[in-house]
Structure 1
Amino acid sequence: MALFKRLAERQRPVLEFTLDGEPASGLLGDTLLTAVLTSGAHLRGSDFSAEPRAGFCLMGACQDCWVRLGDGRRVRACATALEAGQHVLREPGRRP
């Protein structure tokens, strides 16, 4: 179940991407954070306990929204625009 629900601006073009190897979609102009959280229940696993995380500040200050792209780059999901065909990998976090 998606954590975020889209209430407005649903008429923008749809962009397809993959999330952990599974098909997902967002809208043109979405950040990765918005696209992931309208597609799933969490953004990544905590670095300390692997518990599900959804970002914290949502504006690029807290560094709680890191995800990895298919080319290996680690980016902040809240400050990175979704692009068609992107491969997004959620960091699973570390188990204690």
Structure 2
Amino acid sequence: MKRLPGHGLRRGQAVTVTVDGEPTAAYLGESVAVALMAHGDLSTRATKGGENRGLFCGMGVCFDCVAVVDGVPGTRACVTWVRDGMVIERQDGPGARRAAPGG
């Protein structure tokens, strides 16, 4: 997406993260929530009942955007910054990794 000239915004350095098993481009200075959304799915987790949740407050208060980051479930995606090599997985229920499609 092109930005208007003179906007004053610059993306950080491009890095590679793994989202649900797929290498994905991300940028330093952006949150895990942004990387998940850019990957094409607005959800970060599913509740025990299977309802999708995602970014809500965007400032780390509501805990709706938790995901599994580098093996740690319950990581707030909106206030966790991406880094090169990070492994991000959408979360099912209180802490399990989301099952891979078809598996």
* Band the TM-score falls in, shorter-chain normalisation: 0.7 to 0.9
Q: Please name the residue that 1:63 is paired with.
A: 63
TM-score computed with the length of structure 1 as normaliser: 0.76
* Greater Rg by CA: 2
Q: Any conservation in 2 of the 1:14–1:25 contact (CA below 8 Å)? A: yes
Per-residue CA shift, 1:44-69, capped at 9, x if unaligned?
Answer: 23314323322111111111000012
Q: Secondary structure at the match of 2:36?
A: helix
Overall identity of the aligned pairs, in %: 29
The answer to whether the aligner puts 1:12 opposite 2:5 as a matched pair is no
Letter in 2 for 1:29: G
Q: Please name the residue that 2:45 is paired with.
A: 45
Q: Please name the residue that 1:89 is paired with.
A: 89
Higher strand proportion (structure 1 or 2): 2
Aligned length: 90
Root-mean-square deviation (CA, aligned residues, Å) is 2.5
Q: Per chain length, whose mean CA-contact separation is higher, i.e. which structure has more relative contact order (CA < 8 Å, sep 6+)?
A: 1
Structure 2 alignment gaps of length 5 or more: 95-103
